[in-house]
């Protein structure tokens, strides 16, 4: 290979890449047009090949160092810039996209809340009136602990907070994903999960109410429940979106409806997971703590719920 001729033929590409990189390093990748970004990527690939050839042909340390610098700078801007864009997209989703998709899905979420509350009220009423019904829903050991020893079970978390928080997060995420996947059963499994959770909370509410432990029990529930229950409602709403695509595809083919509503459901679940992580952390470390006054737990739970509602009602500026 004639080294001087090769350098003369390739040097213009190196200078062009250097000029583009200086612009990006100064003003960011957005300063380039779509065509210039394509040129940047193309030049990066060709200069990488030039670097390999220069090392093989031993063209000189200065040329090798210059080409190494160009490829390193190009890699940094192309790939790290891409990662910055990805993180920015995630940030924008949680800032505006998640509230928007929740508002778009409010009918399905309201359906979930109605089913849950109805099941909870009916279960509470029957459990309050009939001990036999209570025994069908609540484990005997739990009934004995509350009724006979006048104790809540929430203290069992104290001392194993990290382990408990992790298990709670995993369990809640599994429930949420199951509620989502239940949409594939035309919503039958999703409906079952919502009703079952409502029945459980209603029966337990009756149990603690009958034994004058309602105030400390709901003080335990409020801090994490202010995020955990809405997250499960959102996940079940995502499941009902899938059920809608199967049962009532409308003007779409069923497979196209699944793609459309499935994407909406996936966005809901993507936003739900951080809520459950935060709720699990609170339930593991804050809610059961005996040193935190109950009124403070109520205050934190109420504040978190109000903050969540305000956040989910945000309107995109665009």
- Residue-by-residue pLDDT tens, the chain, 318 positions: 677 788 788 888 888 888 888 888 787 777 778 788 788 888 888 888 888 887 777 777 778 788 888 888 887 777 765 556 666 777 888 888 899 999 999 999 999 999 999 999 999 999 999 989 999 998 888 888 888 888 887 766 555 556 556 666 777 888 888 999 999 999 999 999 999 999 999 999 999 999 999 999 999 999 999 999 999 999 999 999 999 999 998 888 888 889 889 989 999 999 999 999 999 889 888 888 889 999 999 999 999 999 999 999 988 665
Q: Are 257 and 238 in contact (CB under 8 A)?
A: no
For residue 286, the enclosing domain spans 105-312
Asked whether residue 214 falls in the same domain as residue 308, the answer is yes
Burial class (CB in 10 A: 0-12, 13-18, 19+), 301: buried
Does any domain span residue 96? no
- Candidates 275, 98, 107, 95; CA nearest to 176 is 275
- Candidates 90, 91, 98, 87; CA nearest to 311 is 98
Does any domain span residue 100? no
What is the domain count for the chain? 2
Asked whether residue 176 falls in the same domain as residue 216, the answer is yes
pLDDT at 85: 60
Asked whether residue 201 falls in the same domain as residue 272, the answer is yes
Asked whether residue 203 falls in the same domain as residue 129, the answer is yes
Asked whether residue 256 falls in the same domain as residue 158, the answer is yes
Does any domain span residue 264? yes
Maximum separation of any 2 CA atoms in the chain, in Å: 97
pLDDT at 148: 83
Does any domain span residue 318? no
Does any domain span residue 97? no
Asked whether residue 84 falls in the same domain as residue 110, the answer is no
Does any domain span residue 7? yes
Task: Give the end of a domain, one of 57, 89, 121.
Answer: 89
pLDDT at 61: 75
pLDDT at 106: 94
Does any domain span residue 210? yes
End-to-end CA distance of the chain: 57
Task: Give the end of a domain, one of 60, 89, 118.
Answer: 89
pLDDT at 159: 53
Asked whether residue 123 falls in the same domain as residue 227, the answer is yes
Does any domain span residue 217? yes
In 3-state terms the chain splits into helix, strand, coil percentages (rounded to 5) of 85, 0, 15
Q: Give me 252's structure tokens.
A: 């779409």
Quote the CA–CA distance of 145 and 140 in Å, as a whole number: 9
Q: Are 193 and 308 in contact (CB under 8 A)?
A: no
Asked whether residue 124 falls in the same domain as residue 238, the answer is yes
Asked whether residue 193 falls in the same domain as residue 281, the answer is yes
* Cβ count within 10 A of residue 265: 27
Phi, psi of 183 (to 5 degrees): -60, -30
Asked whether residue 14 falls in the same domain as residue 63, the answer is yes
Task: Give the end of a domain, one of 89, 117, 151.
Answer: 89
Quote the CA–CA distance of 153 and 156 in Å, as a whole number: 6
pLDDT at 202: 94
What is the torsional sign of CA 198, 204, 205, 207?
A: positive
Asked whether residue 64 falls in the same domain as residue 207, the answer is no
CA distances in angstroms from 238 to 84, 116, 182, 225, listed in the order given: 29, 15, 9, 19
Quote the CA–CA distance of 165 and 295 in Å, as a whole number: 22
Quote the CA–CA distance of 280 and 265 in Å, as a whole number: 22
Asked whether residue 177 falls in the same domain as residue 150, the answer is yes
């Amino acid at each position: 290979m004639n080294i001087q001729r090769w350098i003369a033929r390739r040097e213009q590409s190196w200078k062009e890449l250097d000029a583009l990189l200086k612009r990006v390093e100064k003003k960011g990748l957005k300063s380039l047009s779509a065509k210039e970004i394509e040129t940047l990527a193309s030049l990066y690939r060709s200069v990488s090949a030039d670097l390999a050839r220069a090392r093989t042909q031993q063209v000189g340390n200065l040329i090798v160092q210059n080409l190494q610098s160009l490829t390193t700078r190009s890699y940094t801007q192309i790939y790290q810039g891409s990662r910055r864009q990805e993180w920015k997209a995630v940030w924008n989703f949680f800032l505006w996209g998640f509230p928007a998709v929740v508002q778009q899905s409010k009918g399905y979420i309201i359906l979930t809340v109605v089913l849950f509350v109805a099941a909870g009220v009916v279960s509470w009423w029957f459990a309050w009136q009939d001990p036999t019904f209570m025994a069908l829903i609540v484990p005997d050991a739990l009934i004995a602990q509350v009724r006979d020893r006048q104790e809540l079970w929430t203290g069992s978390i104290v001392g194993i907070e990290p382990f408990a928080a992790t298990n709670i997060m995993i369990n809640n995420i599994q429930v949420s994903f199951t509620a989502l996947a239940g949409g594939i059963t035309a919503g039958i499994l999703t409906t079952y999960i919502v009703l079952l959770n409502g029945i459980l909370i209603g029966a337990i509410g009756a149990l603690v109410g009958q034994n004058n432990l309602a105030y400390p029990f709901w003080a335990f529930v409020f801090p994490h429940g202010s995020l955990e229950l809405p997250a499960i409602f959102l996940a079940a709403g995502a499941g009902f979106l899938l059920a809608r695509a199967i049962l009532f595809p409308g003007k779409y083919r069923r497979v196209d409806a699944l793609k459309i509503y499935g994407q909406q459901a996936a966005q809901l679940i993507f936003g739900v997971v951080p809520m459950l992580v935060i709720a699990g952390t609170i339930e593991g470390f804050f809610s059961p703590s005996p040193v935190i006054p109950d009124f403070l737990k109520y205050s934190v739970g109420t504040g978190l719920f109000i903050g969540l509602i305000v956040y989910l009602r945000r309107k995109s500026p665009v």
